[in-house]
Structure 1
Amino acid sequence: MKLSRIAQLGAVAAIAALTLTACASNEQTPGATAPEETTSALTGQLVGQGASSQQVAVQSWTAMFLDANPDAQVDYDPAGSGTGRESFQQGAVNFAGSDRAFKIDEISAGGFGACADGSGIVEIPAYISPIAVIFNVPGVDALDLDAATVAGIFAGTITNWNDPAIAATNDGVELPDLAINPVHRSDKSGTTGNFTDYLAANAPDVWTWDSVEEWPAGVVGEAAEKTSGVVNAVKAGEGSVGYADSSQAGGISSVNIKVGDEFVGHSAEGAAATLDASAIEEGRSEGDLAFEIDRTTTEAGAYPLLLVSYLIGCEQYEDADVAALTKAFFTTAVSEEGQQSAAENAGSAPISDDLRTQSLAAIELIK
């Protein structure tokens, strides 16, 4: 899998082209600034796989990393969070990108083939982004919906855009007599896991399937592969509605979700405010910075429908060169420059200085 595979997946053209050029020619990328920690040149190949949500951010970080390490190569396949974690466990890739951390019982079970025997793992929250509820209804640019109504749409109990539940929070909006076509991910997806976690936390009487990464069998809707597939399906079908990382939801009508007494649109600032109201899950190791997101926060300006996407690696690798590459790439991702680049190109929320300090300490465990 060459880096050009990423560029072909249609995220942000300028960054994709930048990454492709850096990988193909190993020439310095104009305008990219690598953090101080990654200025020593490294060589070799680093292979990752996982979340399609953070592919634009990975492209940004890769361009910066290759600018400082022109003889290195980073290959990232955005095949989905579940696939990335499985490949990491099987030892098929050096690191994974995932829209959810490994569960504590999964870590206890072990079997991480990418790592040296007995090694723990590090999980770094490098990409924070809102999930947008996007829709295609002619003449309607935005809608205000509470969690129960969103849950009803995706559960199949609200089937028409002029349903009274939708009209109740959208006074003055002309809602057409048009069937709703909910679009969900067909692949095992961390974005689905975060989306259904929000529904389960805020509307458990309507969304009764809990938090799941694979769409429940028999629940209505059109299935589409990866983030780009959901976005394209919504764009192509009048009456369609879906959920997607906001980095790929530009130019599409979206929902303002109810938080407390207000309706809040998806934004990096809202996602950051929610993470600030959340905490690292109890029982995690020193290098495992997995957050328990407060989906029911009523903090002003917070947007609790978000994903925290992790870079996942080993505390100890069999190959010292792979360890050095992983350590340097993760450091690039969480650096102030790396986070700003992702914010500019993917619309993500930069991590706080405190979280950066924690992340760098976790990355130091990689050997």
Structure 2
Amino acid sequence: MKISPAIKIAAIGGIAAIALTSCAANESGGTSPSESASKSNLSGELNGAGASSQDSAQQAWIAAFQKANDKVTINYEPSGSGAGRETFQQGASAFAGSDRAFKVDEIKAGPFKGCATGTGIVEVPAYISPIAIIFNVEGVDSLKLDASTVAKIFSGKITKWNDQAIASQNPDAKLPDTNITAVHRSDKSGTTGNFTDYLAAAGGADWAAGSVEEWPKELGGEGASGTSGVVQAVTKGVGTIGYADASKAGKLGTVEIKVGDKYVKYSPEAASAIAEHSELETGRTANDLAVKIDRTSDKEGVYPIVLISYLIGCEQYADAKNAELVKSYFGYVTGEEGQKAAAEASGSAPLPATLAAKVKTAVDAIK
């Protein structure tokens, strides 16, 4: 069955009706892609929106889930994490994808119009991926940089590719006397939030802009919309550098990041390692699994510029029919088969076993 076109969210402030029907008798409703589609009793349409970093994984998840549940249609609009959270909060989508969890004060402020009154939200890690620092410099395929140098480049303090701060860490690279054009996301972005969170934690005094999802205008640089926009701008530019989900890095040059005394190249294994060594945030409900990433870890083999992208839904939906599709889809995505499908489609890292167990408990609580 073909994936239906992505939904078009006309207005964040408006509330779109999401029609869901089901004739399932079992608790979870759906079947996994390893089972026959003829066994599935699940039916209906499920609309989601959010993180563009998840796009490749979402396409793989949707294709497999719809094949196993052939009466289900899933639409996902990769409108960006900020837009996805707003769309979900307004009740215009049944779930959101986001490269950060809602902040505690945002949850308290509410409301979440698709959720039953007085109930909370479920936020579960679903997609773990390194954020690659990508660049386009003729004759240079890879660079080694520490956090301070990265911070100075993206804050405009280092403006030439042959600057001593870059050259000293890359003595064998033929660095040109070319201006640096730093490309950033122009839209509100969880990828930006994760990237600046790293710079704020590891860059010290060389990064004063804090951990933000919207790029500070005073820092300048070139803005581009979405992950694909940043990759395109870096690819078509000269002397450009940017940041994007590693699955989209393609043939562009990439940066190894200094961790402790060594430089670490991004990889699914290194991304999973930093997730495994990080703790859950405190002050949240049992089914709100926000991970506090340890950006300054010096453990061997970890890559600190990583996004942990979430699926966000209601603990209890105002329309009970909505819960069945969300619960079944979330269960597939965060299960072994879904994580394998995402890895094959995008090079993402699987959920560490301990975290995966907590995720299953949270998804099972949806009703």
Partner of 1:152: 152
Whether contact under 8 Å (2:182, 2:241) holds in the other structure is yes
1:41 Cα deviation after fit: 2.6
1:95 Cα deviation after fit: 0.3
Q: How does 1:204-283 map to 2 (within 5 A)?
A: 204-283=204-283
Q: How does 1:13-28 map to 2 (within 5 A)?
A: none
Distance 1:222 1:3, change over 3 A: farther
Give the partner amino acid of 1:70. Answer: D
Aligned residues: 342
1:203 Cα deviation after fit: 0.9
1:250 Cα deviation after fit: 2.0
Task: Give me the whole-angstrom Cα distance separating, in 2, the residues matched to 1:247 and 1:6.
Answer: 20
| Secondary structure of the corresponding residue to residue 79 of structure 2 | coil
How far does the alpha carbon of each residue in 1:307-344 deviate from its partner, in whole angstroms, 9 at most, with x for none? 00000000111222211000000001011011011011
Give the partner amino acid of 1:187. Answer: D
Partner of 2:334: 334
Whether contact under 8 Å (1:6, 1:55) holds in the other structure is no
Task: Give me the whole-angstrom Cα distance separating, in 1, the residues matched to 2:336 and 2:79.
Answer: 27
Partner of 1:190: 190
1:5 Cα deviation after fit: 4.1
Partner of 2:33: 34
Runs of 5+ in structure 2 lacking a partner?
8-30
Distance 1:233 1:292, change over 3 A: same
Task: Give me the whole-angstrom Cα distance separating, in 1, the residues matched to 2:144 and 2:102.
Answer: 34
Q: How does 1:160-179 map to 2 (within 5 A)?
A: 160-179=160-179
Give the partner amino acid of 2:253. Answer: S
| Secondary structure of the corresponding residue to residue 309 of structure 1 | strand
How far does the alpha carbon of each residue in 1:202-255 deviate from its partner, in whole angstroms, 9 at most, with x for none? 013111010000000221210000000000000000100000000111221100
| Secondary structure of the corresponding residue to residue 159 of structure 1 | coil
| Secondary structure of the corresponding residue to residue 257 of structure 1 | strand
Distance 1:183 1:335, change over 3 A: same
Cα RMSD (Å): 1.8
Task: Give me the whole-angstrom Cα distance separating, in 2, the residues matched to 1:174 and 1:229.
Answer: 28
Partner of 1:68: 68
Task: Give me the whole-angstrom Cα distance separating, in 2, the residues matched to 1:6 and 1:147.
Answer: 37
1:354 Cα deviation after fit: 2.1
Task: Give me the whole-angstrom Cα distance separating, in 1, the residues matched to 2:33 and 2:286.
Answer: 26
Task: Give me the whole-angstrom Cα distance separating, in 2, the residues matched to 1:179 and 1:153.
Answer: 11
How far does the alpha carbon of each residue in 1:244-274 deviate from its partner, in whole angstroms, 9 at most, with x for none? 0001112211000100001111111111110
Task: Give me the whole-angstrom Cα distance separating, in 2, the residues matched to 1:258 and 1:194.
Answer: 17
How far does the alpha carbon of each residue in 1:179-203 deviate from its partner, in whole angstroms, 9 at most, with x for none? 0000000000000000000000001
| Secondary structure of the corresponding residue to residue 53 of structure 1 | helix
Runs of 5+ in structure 1 lacking a partner?
8-31
Whether contact under 8 Å (2:123, 2:312) holds in the other structure is yes
Instruction: Please report the TM-score for the alignment, with normalisation by the length of structure 2.
Output: 0.90
Distance 1:96 1:302, change over 3 A: same
1:4 Cα deviation after fit: 4.8
Distance 1:306 1:69, change over 3 A: same
Distance 1:134 1:209, change over 3 A: same
Runs of 4+ in 1 over 2 A off after TM superposition: 2-7, 38-41
Distance 1:247 1:106, change over 3 A: same
Identity of aligned residues (%): 57
Partner of 1:48: 48
Q: How does 1:343-354 map to 2 (within 5 A)?
A: 343-354=343-354
How far does the alpha carbon of each residue in 1:271-296 deviate from its partner, in whole angstroms, 9 at most, with x for none? 11101110110111111110000000
Give the partner amino acid of 2:161. Answer: W
2:100 equivalent to 1:94: no
| Stretch of structure 1 that moved more, 189-198 or 344-353 | 344-353
Give the partner amino acid of 1:82. Answer: G
| Secondary structure of the corresponding residue to residue 269 of structure 1 | helix
Whether contact under 8 Å (1:162, 1:178) holds in the other structure is yes
Task: Give me the whole-angstrom Cα distance separating, in 2, the residues matched to 1:114 and 1:262.
Answer: 47
Distance 1:302 1:6, change over 3 A: farther
1:40 Cα deviation after fit: 3.4
| Secondary structure of the corresponding residue to residue 139 of structure 2 | coil
Instruction: Please report the TM-score for the alignment, with normalisation by the length of structure 1.
Output: 0.90
Whether contact under 8 Å (1:204, 1:210) holds in the other structure is no
Whether contact under 8 Å (1:3, 1:76) holds in the other structure is no
1:353 Cα deviation after fit: 2.4
Give the partner amino acid of 1:273. Answer: A
Give the partner amino acid of 1:64. Answer: A
Distance 1:243 1:111, change over 3 A: same
| Secondary structure of the corresponding residue to residue 183 of structure 2 | strand
Distance 1:224 1:351, change over 3 A: same
Task: Give me the whole-angstrom Cα distance separating, in 1, the residues matched to 2:34 and 2:272.
Answer: 23
Whether contact under 8 Å (1:271, 1:306) holds in the other structure is yes
Give the partner amino acid of 2:90. Answer: Q
Whether contact under 8 Å (2:255, 2:265) holds in the other structure is yes
Give the partner amino acid of 1:252. Answer: L
Whether contact under 8 Å (1:185, 1:226) holds in the other structure is yes
| Stretch of structure 1 that moved more, 244-253 or 180-189 | 244-253
Whether contact under 8 Å (1:64, 1:332) holds in the other structure is no
Give the partner amino acid of 1:34. Answer: P
2:293 equivalent to 1:287: no
